[in-house]
Structure formats: structure tokens, C-alpha cells
Amino acid sequence: MPHLRGYPMALGAFKYVFCILFFGLAAPQNPTSMNNSAVIIPIGGIDRATLDNLATILGKRFNLPFKVEVPMEIPDYAFNSDRGQYNSNDVLKELRRYKKRRVLGIIDRDLYVPELNFVFGQADLQGQCALISTIRLRQEFYGLPEDDKIFFERTVKEAVHELGHTYGLRHCSNSKCVMFFSNSLPDTDRKESSFCKSCLKEPAE
Ligand SMILES: [Zn+2]
Ligand SMILES: [Zn+2]
């Protein structure tokens, strides 16, 4: 099971929120310049059925239609050959170029931020952009038999969790809530893909 072995650097001028799932940075909102739609940006090849099913579920969770956009190329500029991973901060920066109400990037490569061994995802707290990596959500990553159902459920939870941060939600102590801080994949598997009552009460935007 993956564990958080790295530690974040001291807080700087930015507002960071930590979790094993993400490493967030507040970004200013500028609603007037934003198109009203929400998009999923596949980065590299991602299975189309997964994307379409994810878009449907996210649309319901956030009461906002999500459209699957044209895929972005695998970001070579973000690749760190020493680590064999992609720098999540660099990919997120690229996603911020999409002027949409919500942007979810999804990549099937391993992500990291310099302070941590890897990240499952990252989001701009109260911003527009979130990014998830699906590679560590696969059973086969851990030498187990492939399981599409588990993989898709984890992908949905990751996506809803990271997008939840863009709505300003912090981690929740309810272990069934999607905003629960997962320490491990079993934690992720135990929680649900929906918000608990108290998270639902938070202001939406
Ligand atoms: Zn989180
Ligand atoms: Zn909650």
C-alpha cells in the first residue's frame, strides 16, 4: 500500500492543504472571465467509456454538466527522468489555461510534487482546477488482478474529492464521506463517492 513518506516544505506565501490525495494551492477566482461549463481533460490516452461514465457522475454530484474535451498530449515538459514521474504542479499550471468553470485533468501516469514521493491528485483550493492520476488506483499496480469496477469507483472518489477541494471543502472526519482523508487505498475503498450532510451544507462556491 502507498504511504506518505515525504513531508511538505514549510508554508510559503501560498495557502497549501495537504493530504495523501492532493497538494493544493489557492488560485484566485475570476468568474467573469469564465465560460460556464465544466470539462474533463484527458491527458494522453484514457479509456473513453471511463471518461463518459465519470462525466455523468460528476454532473450529478456537482449539479453541473461535465463535457469530455479533446485530449491533451502527455506533458513531456513535466517529466522528471530521475524520478520517472510527472510534476503535478506543472500539469496543473497547464490546466489553468482552460478558462472554464471547473477543469478536471485525468492522467494515467504517476504524478509527484517535489516534497512528496507521489500524489494521487492535486487541486486548487477554491479554484477551478483539479488533477488526478489513475495509475495507482489500478489493482494491477500492486500486482493484483485487474478489476475494472474497483478501478472506476476509486477514480470517481478521487475526482469528486479533488473537485470538492475546488469548492473550498477541507478534509472531513466522517470516514464514509468522499472528503475523508484517505491514508491508504482501503480507506478510499471504504468511503463513498458522495458528500456527507455536513459537507453538503458548505457553501457551493
Ligand atoms: Zn484532499
Ligand atoms: Zn464530509
pLDDT digits (tens, 9 = 90+) for 39-76: 999 999 999 999 999 999 999 999 999 999 999 999 99
Ligand 1 center–CA 171 separation, angstroms = 6
Extract the C-alpha cell encoding 64: 453541473
Domain assignment present for residue 186? The answer is no
Residue 7 counted as domain residue: no
Q: How far is the CA of 130 from the centre of ligand 2 (A)?
A: 19
pLDDT more than 70, % of the chain: 81
Minimal CA–CA distance to 128: which of 100, 90, 93, 158?
A: 100
CA of 8 to the centre of ligand 1 (A): 14
Domain assignment present for residue 69? The answer is: yes
Question: Please, what is the average pLDDT of the chain?
Answer: 84
User: Looking at the CA of 200, which ligand is closest?
Assistant: 2
Q: Is 203 inside any structural domain?
A: no
From 15, 21, 25, select the one nearest 181 (Cα to Cα): 21
* Residue 114 located in a structural domain: yes
Q: Do 144 and 4 touch, CB atoms closer than 8 A? A: no
In a domain, 106, yes or no: yes
Reported as a single tens digit per residue, the pLDDT across 108-150 is: 999 999 888 889 999 998 899 999 999 999 999 999 999 999 9
Q: Specify the CATH number for the domain of residue 94.
A: 3.40.390.10
Q: Is residue 94 part of a domain?
A: yes
Could you say which ligand is closest to the alpha carbon of residue 174? 2
Q: State the pTM of this model.
A: 0.84
Instruction: Give the pLDDT confidence score for residue 76 in this predicted structure.
Output: 95
Whether residue 182 has pLDDT greater than 90: no
Q: Is 158 a catalytic residue?
A: no
Selected catalytic residue, list 158, 162, 192, 205 = 162
The number of distinct structural domains making up the chain is 1
Domain ranges, residue 90:
17-26+33-172
Is the sign of the CA dihedral 106, 95, 61, 38 positive or negative?
negative
Task: Assess if residue 196 is contained within a domain.
Answer: no
